[in-house]
Amino acid sequence: MTPIFDALARHARQRPDATAFRDGDRRISWADLARTVGRTAAGFTDGPRTVGLRLVGLDYVIADLAATLAGCRVVPVPGFFSTGQVDHLLADSGAALIDLLPQSDRSLPLVYAGGADRVIYTSGTTGRPKGVVLGDRQLTAQTRALAAAIGAMPDDRYLSVLPQAQLLEQICGIFVPVLTGAETVIAAEGAACLFTGDGTALARIAAACRPTVTVLAPRQLTLWVAALRQGARAPDSLRYIAVGGAPVSPALLAEARALGLPVAEGYGLSEASSVVAMTPAGGTAMVPLDGIDLRIDDGEIVVDGPAVMSGYLGHAPHRGPWRTGDLGQLTDGRLTVLGRRDAMILRASGRNIAPEWVEAAALADPAIPAAALILTEGDRLMLVLAATGSPDMAALTARLARLPDYARPDALVFADPREVGLTRPSGTADRQVAARIARCPGALLVPLPAAGVAA
């Protein structure tokens, strides 16, 4: 992390009055950010050495940088975690919950002595969240690699709309802008659409602040595209939008680009510091980041390089490459992700189906925040939809019709998103709960026409 703090000190000297971060009506210059981080870091040195950061906006930025400068173990607390998950996170890490910036009458110089690390808890698919431990080596390598991948420049304006407790947003929304000297606009309205299902605020804030770069979850892209369909306009300042965290429907990507959103896909995981491959600007396929060694072993994506984690908290240290559990193909240096190995569906025909790609066709509709593909008795595929409204059935049917015959659902099952356990705190569907809903005698089932048959 030394390059990050060296850059912050340099910006404070050379561009003291230039804007570093904006958060609503709040603005902080590089000089003020450097002073505030130094004072807050001194406050952290007088307190617990493991801190669970539950702050938002500019306060989170200051706390993250200051706690790192102070050599603390930083444990971001996701706002979407359930109470039980937060309790587990704090107990497992031994972190003291921090929801106010610590105060001090002294200041630490922006000279990073090393030794800080962070523990990233992922909600996972089953069981309690596990803590991924990342230190200076991983974070520095990932920050530099992502800055190179997106062509980060000092005159960029980054729009921060992902939850800041996500590692990807810490790197792209804090560390990369500080490293390059770019301005960051933190927009709580943009992040809120993940939970409200309304993309108009995201479209409005983007039009107002005219960013050059942003990173989105697939759900945010879906909602932004819906707002553009309704008459909003994409700012022509945008040069790169990265979307990751789950597969995205090719139809949605094509529509987004046609509407003025320069979207690129990314793939990664917390165990490898978030991102391992991205589509470069103007490219058509994902390629590994600088310093990342990707290979396919028995169909599984294996990652090696300096960004691979130190290990899981409380477990033996990890050394060497990391087996991701994801299936993929690597052709001429281009990565195609096929889905989770443990989620694959095997049909009676012997064909394997990655449910994520079928689900992505449903998630392209703004009325469907969560979806799960289930194989039921009689080798029938059911696509369970947690719908908050009436989807565009014609468009949904058309997207599903583009799938191969063996992966096309036989029927849709509409479910109440409030059904207990169906939607996890992270927003994804629990396939086991979805399977139970699909098999209920009273399930709301809509048969789909076979390929080539008019609906």
The band of 453, judged by pLDDT with boundaries at 50, 70 and 90, is very low
Return the structure tokens found at 36.
Answer: 């505030």
Q: What percentage of the chain carries pLDDT values higher than 90?
A: 84
337: left (phi over 0), alpha (psi -120 to 50) or beta: beta
125 band by pLDDT with thresholds 50, 70 and 90: very low
Tokens of 286: 């994902």
The pLDDT confidence band at residue 124, using thresholds 50, 70 and 90, is low
C-alpha count within 13 angstroms, C-beta hemisphere, residue 422: 23
| Residue 195 predicted with pLDDT over 90 | no
Task: Please check the confidence at residue 128 and state whether its pLDDT lies above 80.
Answer: no
- pLDDT at 123 (0 to 100): 63
Tell me what pLDDT residue 450 has: 64
Higher-confidence position of 426 and 14? 14
Mean pLDDT of the chain: 93
How do residues 23-35 score in pLDDT, each as one tens digit?
999 999 999 999 9
pLDDT in tens, 96-106: 999 999 999 99
Q: By C-alpha distance, which of 58, 24, 55, 363 is closest to 201?
A: 24
Per-residue pLDDT, 415: 93
Mean predicted confidence (pLDDT) in 198-211: 96
State the average pLDDT over residues 169-197.
Answer: 94
pLDDT tens-place string over residues 240-253: 999 998 899 999 99
> pLDDT digits over 365-420, tens only?
999 999 999 999 899 999 999 999 999 999 999 999 999 999 999 999 999 988 98
The pLDDT of residue 454 is 44
Q: Give the contacts of 284 (CB within 8 A, at least 6 positions apart).
A: none
Q: Is the pLDDT of residue 109 over 90?
A: yes
Q: How far is it, in rounded angstroms, from Cα 277 to Cα 160? A: 21
Gap between the Cα atoms of 167 and 94, Å rounded: 20
